[in-house]
Amino acid sequence: MNHKNQWNSFFAIEQQIHYSRHMQETIKLAHSANAMHTARCHIPLRTMVAKQVKFFALKIWLFQGLVLAALCALLFQLYSINAAYGIDAFTWAKHSLPKSLCLCSVTVVICAIPLLSRPTRYKMAELEQSTYFSVRGNLLAQLLFIGTGDIGMLSVLVLLAIRLQIAGDTIFLSLIIPFLTAAASGLMLWIRTSPSFFHKAGAILCGLSALFVYKITDNSMLFLPDTAFYVWILYALICIAVLYRECKKLYCRGIFDMLLTE
Amino acid sequence: MAEPLRKIRRTKEPALTHEDDLIKQFKKGRQECLDELIRLYYPVILRYCLWHMPDKDSAQDAVQETFLKLVRFIGRYEPRGQFRAFLYRIAANTCTDMKRSLSSTEFLTEQIIENTRYEENGFQAANDRQQLATAYCALDNETRELVLLRYGQELTLREIATVTGLPLRTVQTRLRKAVKTMRNILDG
Amino acid sequence: MEITLEHVSKYFKDKARKGSPVKKAVDDVNLHLTPGVWGLLGANGSGKTTLMRMVCGIMKPTAGRICYDGVDISQLGDFYREVIGYLPQEFGFYPEFTVQQYLEYIAALKGIPDTQAKHKIDELLTRLSLEDVRKKKIIKLSGGMKRRVGIGQALLNDPELLVLDEPTSGLDPGERVRFRNLLSEFAQDRIVLISTHIVPDVEYIAARNAIMKNGTILQTGTTQELVSQIHGKVFQAIIPSQELGMWESEVQIINLRNEEDGSVCLRYLGRPSDIPNAAPQPPCLEDLYLYLFPKS
């Protein structure tokens, strides 16, 4: 591009100034400024997250454990409805068991909401945001503990479902897929909306998205029994990719350097 | 916030790995890396300051101040290929601050061009320069800044967007319009 | 070190009102903060909290910029938050935290290394007279003690800029005096920005004040400079208590005190001729506050 070179030389007016002496002086001053200024040392992110374990991890896992116990009790109850209760009840229970897995998976996601909203509820949010690690560090730590707990809960539910003689693909479609959908959409919303909005809309939206997926899974097996399963595995991978990407976004500084409190 | 993937792939970003290396080494304690960094960027930052300050002396003060601030806040910079935008933002802020503390008169670009005129060889070169100056002065202040950053300082569009705080789209549109305006004036 | 606010504004979408969609919480504020104590005075709703949130970097200005030593704080991010200590107006605690745990938690969030944090927590607990309640749950402490814990967390990282939003609200007079002394001590070589609507709390410790109304800064200056504008407008008079009702509507009363003999001692804003035998008084910051924000 001819005009680029011409224009560049038009702007290069420093070339007619003798600046080497001033440049040397600047270098010298820069060194003495550097010597005077002692940078603050701070702990890396992983150390901060490790410290948070003793504050929050146990409480989070205890809460999740209680929720898990309630869900297991529900599943057992449904399973235990046998013919003695009447043939209608028995059929209903047999039919509801896989569907209730969907409910369980959404509950696993939703029980993260009261945990994540603790800072707002106890009015710690503003103070936490003004610290060095701010929302980024805090949220990542919380998500790590909640995520670990969620995986634990899901594992127990999967094992229980197997024990209750539910088919493997049903478990995948009724437990894993709704969980991933609700988790991915929930996390995307959490990052992009203000806490007050999310508390009102979040739980509903998580639930809705998971139920929506469940409806599709219900019908897809009917129409495309052979290929549908591979589609759902791909979908699951996409959801996991979304979750990873959202967490990575949190990890990189850019977005949360200035966070709005409204 | 997130830009379409297509655009990201199209823009050719300079790697700026050399600068990042220098900074990493400097943070580890190798002082001579700071020397090299300043020697690398002093001329271009001086160029930028000369286009913003009323005279050579205040421009040199501005450059010095910019590098002192850089040293002060170097801890903030994460070596991820964005050194230029980081440095130019500091330079832009410094020039704005220093202009404010000087007298309140507007420094016309024409004056700067007057003050630091090339010793041109031949009538044609001087005439070209004069024409370009007229075309440049026809733009408004904000657009001049964009043109300076793009053609004078050779920053990428993304870097210009970071330095000015404008969205990438706006930078693209305004620059395109500015080039068109300037070419119209230059061609007749 | 210095903090500069240039044409800082913050607009919110006002959903409650139709036709006027924008609410200006902060409007074109310009301030240049240097080391020392700065008082930010204004009534509730004048935009003080919004301004302080922007100074702390947790809210982005709609327009203008805030610079720390000449560099925009949006460019500095966590580097800037490293040097600030903030105590919000409304702050709480997780119910399970003891004082020690709370300070350790905030120290971790502030990125302070272990040994340094431990040393600093011990020092602060002693200075703030919280040694005895170290292991006590914070929610069980009195209001004054909670505030002291709040100030303690703000000082953990040895901040260059200390921002306190209404730090003395809810404290009893004794605690307020103690707080004032504490702050004077800590304000050496730091910028301390205190917002309050309780004027006496900053009157004696603030080197400079900024008065805020409806999102804009009305005036800035030392206490002396600011009160000089109402010089000759503050008076004290003693009146019979029956006349109180009559004078209440005539002059702007700052203070009144019932005397033993049944009369009332009145401190008011007005002209010398308003009440007979009135004596002029040297004005103070509280007088100025009432002059600028008259009670309706």
pLDDT tens column, C103-118: 999 999 999 998 899 9
* CA distances (Å), origin C243, targets A5, C257, C264, C274: 87, 14, 9, 13
Say if B2 falls within a structural domain.
Answer: no
Same domain, B85 and B152: no
Q: Which residues of C touch B93 (CB under 8 A)?
A: 67, 70-72
- pLDDT higher than 80, residue C289: yes
Chains that touch A (3 or more CB pairs under 8 A): B, C
End of a domain among C210, C227, C244?
C227
Q: What is the CATH number of the domain that holds C169?
A: 3.40.50.300
From the number of C-beta atoms within 10 Å of its C-beta (0-12, 13-18, 19+), residue A29 rates as: middle
Number of domains in chain B: 2
Alpha-carbon gap, residue C207 to B84, rounded angstroms: 40
Same domain, C116 and C236: no
pLDDT at C90: 86
Q: What are the pLDDT digits (tens) for C175-197?
A: 888 888 888 878 878 899 999 87
Same domain, B121 and B97: no
pLDDT at B6: 36
Q: What are the pLDDT digits (tens) for C66-110?
A: 999 888 888 887 889 999 999 998 888 999 999 999 999 999 999
Q: In terms of residue numbers, what domain contains C153? A: 3-227
Distance of CA C120 to the CA centre of its chain: 25
Same domain, C268 and C153: no
Sign of CA dihedral C141, C143, C147, C150: positive
pLDDT at C17: 60
Do the Cβ atoms of A19 and B60 come within 8 Å?
yes
Do the Cβ atoms of B69 and C67 come within 8 Å?
no
For residues A1-19, give the mean pLDDT. 79
| DSSP state at residue A204 | H
Number of domains in chain C: 2
Same domain, B79 and B25: yes
Same domain, C237 and C124: no
Q: What are the pLDDT digits (tens) for A22-35?
A: 999 999 999 888 88
Q: What are the pLDDT digits (tens) for B92-151?
A: 989 988 887 776 455 555 565 665 455 555 666 777 778 888 888 888 888 989 999 999
Same domain, C249 and C219: no
Distance from the A254 Cα atom to the nearest Cα atom in chain C, whole angstroms: 9
Q: Which residues of C touch A122 (CB under 8 A)?
A: 92-95
Candidates C4, C71, C79; nearest CB to B69: C71
Do the Cβ atoms of A51 and C108 come within 8 Å?
yes
Say if B186 falls within a structural domain.
Answer: yes
Alpha-carbon gap, residue A245 to A237, rounded angstroms: 12
pLDDT at B166: 86
pLDDT at C122: 93
Distance from the B89 Cα atom to the nearest Cα atom in chain A, whole angstroms: 16
Say if B24 falls within a structural domain.
Answer: yes
> Which of B1, B61, B76 would you mutate first to test chain C, the one with the most C CBs within 10 A?
B76
C237 forms beta bridges with C266
For residues A77-84, give the mean pLDDT. 75
> Tokens representing A228?
């549908």
Q: What are the pLDDT digits (tens) for A220-262?
A: 555 556 667 788 888 899 999 999 988 887 776 544 433 444 3
The full DSSP string for C209-232 is EEEEETTEEEEEE-HHHHHGGGTT
> Which of B27, B33, B64, B130 would you mutate first to test chain A, the one with the most A CBs within 10 A?
B64
Alpha-carbon gap, residue A171 to A175, rounded angstroms: 5
Give the confidence band of A67 by pLDDT, cuts at 50, 70, 90.
very high
Residue appearing with tokens 């301390």 = C192
Distance from the C212 Cα atom to the nearest Cα atom in chain B, whole angstroms: 24
Same domain, C70 and C200: yes
Same domain, C20 and C131: yes
Q: Closest by alpha carbon to C74, among B52, B68, A260, A196?
A: A260
Contact C232, C71 (CB under 8 A): no
pLDDT at C15: 61
Do the Cβ atoms of A52 and C108 come within 8 Å?
yes
First-last CA distance in chain C: 41
3-state secondary structure of C143: helix
Which residue ranges make up each domain of chain A? 45-256
> Which of B71, B111, B134, B153 would you mutate first to test chain A, the one with the most A CBs within 10 A?
B71
- pLDDT higher than 70, residue A11: yes
Same domain, C266 and C219: no
Q: What average pLDDT is seen over chain B?
A: 80
3-state secondary structure of C275: coil
pLDDT at C199: 84
CB atoms within 10 A of CB A153: 24
Closest chain B residue to the Cα of C72, Cα to Cα: B93
Q: Which residues of A touch B147 (CB under 8 A)?
A: 7
Contact B22, B37 (CB under 8 A): yes
Say if B22 falls within a structural domain.
Answer: yes
Same domain, C103 and C203: yes
pLDDT at C254: 83
What lies within 8 Å, CB to CB, of C53 at 6+ separation is A126, A261, C59
Say if B153 falls within a structural domain.
Answer: yes
For residues A94-119, give the mean pLDDT. 83
**Lowest-confidence pick of A29-43, B34-48, C51-65:** A29-43
For residues B39-68, give the mean pLDDT. 91
- pLDDT higher than 60, residue B8: no
Q: Is A5 on the interface with B (CB under 8 A)?
A: no
Residue appearing with tokens 């000759």 = C232
pLDDT at A176: 87
Do the Cβ atoms of A42 and C82 come within 8 Å?
yes
Do the Cβ atoms of C90 and A126 come within 8 Å?
yes
Alpha-carbon gap, residue C89 to B10, rounded angstroms: 48
What lies within 8 Å, CB to CB, of C56 at 6+ separation is A130, C81, C84, C86, C163
Distance from the B99 Cα atom to the nearest Cα atom in chain C, whole angstroms: 13
Q: In terms of residue numbers, what domain contains B138? A: 117-188
> Which of A1, A4, A10 would you mutate first to test chain B, the one with the most B CBs within 10 A?
A10
Q: Is C167 on the interface with A (CB under 8 A)?
A: no
Distance from the C4 Cα atom to the nearest Cα atom in chain B, whole angstroms: 10
> Tokens representing A95?
């039919």
- What are φ and ψ of residue C194, in 5° steps? -115, 125
Distance from the B133 Cα atom to the nearest Cα atom in chain C, whole angstroms: 31
Do the Cβ atoms of C109 and A122 come within 8 Å?
no
What lies within 8 Å, CB to CB, of C294 at 6+ separation is C252
Provide the residue count of chain C.
Answer: 296
Q: Which residues of B touch A258 (CB under 8 A)?
A: none
ipTM value:
0.85
Give the percent of chain C with pLDDT over 70: 97
C37 forms beta bridges with C192
